[in-house]
Amino acid sequence: RRGLVIGYCRVSSSGQKADLERQAEVVANYCEKQGYQFRIIKYIGSGMNYKKKGLQELLRLVCEGGCGKIVVNYKDRLVRFGYELIETVCEEHNVDIEIINQTDDISYE
């Protein structure tokens, strides 16, 4: 399980469900092309709410050794603010964060 990659996809509102599906498709295609054994976590919720089910599940996997890498389409899909804190937790548990698109996310918000 240590090698499992988590593709993490998030949008802020239920009106963005189509965007969430497109985001998940991009992340899944990327993971497949990289040859990763992966699982997608996707959820709808604010990037500023740290108690959302999807983020809690991701952090639990990181802290319990359930993944070795997180893949996100854009940096702000992980969290809107406090990315450095999540990054530090991941570093402490030897989990890499891989960001597919290094540009600002303007399509999902």
Residue 21's φ and ψ, nearest 5 degrees, are: -65, -40
12 is catalytic: yes
- What is the CA 79 to chain-centroid distance, rounded? 9
Within 8 A by CB and 6+ apart from 80, the residues are 46, 47, 48
Catalytic residue among 12, 13, 46, 107: 12
Cα distance between residue 52 and residue 87, in whole Å: 18
Whose CA is closest to 5, among 79, 72, 56, 101? 72
CA distance linking residue 74 with residue 61, whole number of Å = 20
Q: Active-site positions? A: 12
